[in-house]
Amino acid sequence: MLGGLLAAAGALTLALTQAQAQAAEPGTAELYAEHCASCHGTDRLGAMGPALLPENLARLKQADAARVILNGRPATQMPAFAETLSAESAQALAQFIYQPPAEPPRWAEPEILASHLLPHPAGSLPDEPVFEADMLNLFLVVEIGDHHVTVLDGDTMTPVTRFASRYALHGGPKYSPDGRYVYFGSRDGWITKYDLYNLRVVAEVRAGINMRNIAVSADGNYVLAANYLPHSLVLFDATNLGLMKVIDVTGENGTSSRVSAVYTAPPRGSFIAALKDLPEAWEITVRQGRPEVRVMATGTYLDDFFFDPGYQHLIGAARDGKHGLVIDLDSGKTIADLPLPGMPHLGSGITWDYRGRRVMATPHFRTGAVSIIDMDNWEVIKTLQTEGPGFFMRSHENSRYAWVDVFFGPNSDKVHVIDKQTLEIVKTLQPAPGKVSAHVEFDRYGEKLLLSVWDDDGAVIAYDANTLEELKRLPMNKPSGKYNVWNKIRYEEGTSH
């Protein structure tokens, strides 16, 4: 009863907010229809341009949105409207797109099926690469400045090709087990399958309106998408991205939830997902083409998580940002609590052998520290002070060093190199003073690595992984993640999976 009253009051407030916005700015919906709808969709779900809904705009301030409307976005198709629209109209439009639409947006089976694009069905393109390179030592570089991807030869560190991606790719692209195909996920819900042998997009589908990430099953047969909006996990056949099943993410009490992320768990033959609005982790196993869900109660909401190398344990970051917990994936029970203040970024965790023990390390979003944890007894054995909070950590089995960036704060142009055996910082690099330097990926041998200068006028820098000398600098447009085929398909211990 109380819940019903609260829901009714919430709906009334929402209706009033919308009515007030519309009353304050008569004609804004018409302005949207005239100037924005052709690229962003009449329903604001996105078309050639990105979706313009509150969830999709969460990372952009409303004032910045008004500025983008007036000035456009360089290197994209977003034009400047300063000559057509007044500052007040731009402000009103910005306010309009941050309001939820009157009708909740829908993205279910019919919409997913209608979005499916299949320019090159499986089997229709040659099975030989159209260029010469070690196909297992290729890198993909995601350039978020102008939404492109560069394919890079990892032996010579030279670009092979560069192609336009969907708007705002996020998270690591996932490879087929043989490394021929790669699947990208965009924040707007698009999944793109790309053939690295033929350098072509072969299939696309839109799994949701606001997506977190995707995972590819260890056998290469399935792709599972994790959504914030709607609250769903969506299963596709990996061959042509045909829809198999929309799984509603709703708990036993009827509460639905966003999905924090989903990963494949190779030795278990399953996917593991954690939920943002329910204290649960789900194990999803596909049997005879049908997904089966096993629910594990976690006692807390998990934002970010990681696995031990055998996928026996899930190590999750609790939403309060003050601790982590370890869940035994067989029993579903929480077996340890980790003292990790400062919001650990466990999605970026890596592991290595340290004096006969397996340790894991994670940077923190809120403190300048790297925590190093013994994975046998789950004790923090070292907290390494850094020059600011970091985002990404990387190493390679063949390298004695682990790299961590200082993503936030006044030292965001610095990157630390940690000796994995002394657990000390042995060098701090500042490759482009004043510009964020972040995210490392090694080549397949662990001999060279790439670091991003995270700027529109940016670069990827190749380093010798042993001498730490710079080898080469390739100009790029805000390069974010780099992904080496071999390291990903072998689940290399120093990289993300």
Q: Interface with ligand DHE by CB under 6 A: which residues?
A: 59, 144, 170-172, 212-213, 261, 347, 391, 439, 480-481, 496
φ, ψ for residue 417 (rounded to 5)?
-115, 125
CB of 223 to ligand DHE, least distance (A): 12
Cβ 309 to ligand DHE, closest distance in Å?
17
Residue 41 or 185 having the CB closest to ligand DHE:
185
Q: How far is the CB of 435 from ligand DHE (least distance, A)?
A: 14
Judged by CB, which is closer to ligand DHE: 143, or 387? 143
Tokens of 28: 């804004």
Cβ contacts of residue 382 below 8 Å, gap of 6+?
371, 372, 423
Q: Which is nearer to ligand DHE, 89 or 480 (CB)?
A: 480
Q: Is the peptide bond before 230 cis (omega within 30 degrees of 0)?
A: yes
- Nearer residue to ligand DHE within complex by CB, 148 or 439: 439
Question: Rounded distance, CA 233 to CA 288, Å?
Answer: 18
Q: How far is the CB of 156 from ligand DHE (least distance, A)?
A: 22
> Which amino acid is residue 399, in one-letter code?
S
Q: Which is nearer to ligand DHE, 374 or 493 (CB)?
A: 493
Complex with ligand DHE: residue 90 or 191, whichever CB lies closer: 191
Percent of residues in the chain assigned helix, strand, coil, to nearest 5: 15, 40, 45
Compute the least distance from the CB of residue 279 to ligand DHE, in Å. Answer: 18
| The Cα angle at residue 485 between residues 308 and 363, in degrees rounded to 5 | 40
Q: Is the dihedral of CA 124, 129, 134, 139 positive or negative?
A: negative
Partnered with residue 138 across adjacent β-strands are 153
Q: Which of 64, 22, 29 is nearest to 43 (CA)?
A: 29
Name the 3-class secondary structure at 165: coil
The encoded tokens of residue 144 equal 């978020």
Least Cα distance to 309 among 259, 353, 351 occurs for 351
CB of 51 to ligand DHE, least distance (A): 14
Among candidate residues 99, 17, 53, the one with its CA nearest the CA of residue 9 = 17
Q: Cα separation of 35 and 107, whole Å?
A: 24
Residues 97 and 58: their CA atoms lie apart, in Å, by 11
With respect to ligand DHE, which residue has the nearer C-beta, 172 or 316?
172
Q: Quote the least distance from Cβ 151 to ligand DHE, whole Å.
A: 17
Burial track 260-272 (b if 16+ CB lie within 10 A, e otherwise): bbbbbbbebebbb
Cβ proximity to ligand DHE, 291 vs 321, nearer residue: 321
Minimum gap (Å) between residue 184 Cβ and ligand DHE: 11
**What span, in angstroms and rounded, lies between the C-alpha atoms of 286 and 274?**
17
- What is the rounded CA–CA span in Å between residue 51 and residue 101? 12
Q: Which residue, 90 or 485, has its beta carbon nearer to ligand DHE? A: 485
412 close to 388: Cβ distance less than 8 angstroms:
yes
Distance CA 379, CA 382 (A): 9
- Minimum gap (Å) between residue 329 Cβ and ligand DHE: 18
CA dihedral for 178, 181, 186, 189, sign (positive or negative): negative
Parallel/antiparallel/unpaired status of strands 458-464 and 470-476: antiparallel
**31/52 with CB nearer ligand DHE:** 52
CB of 348 to ligand DHE, least distance (A): 7
Nearer to ligand DHE, 420 or 439 (CB): 439
**Least CB distance from residue 172 to ligand DHE, whole Å?**
3
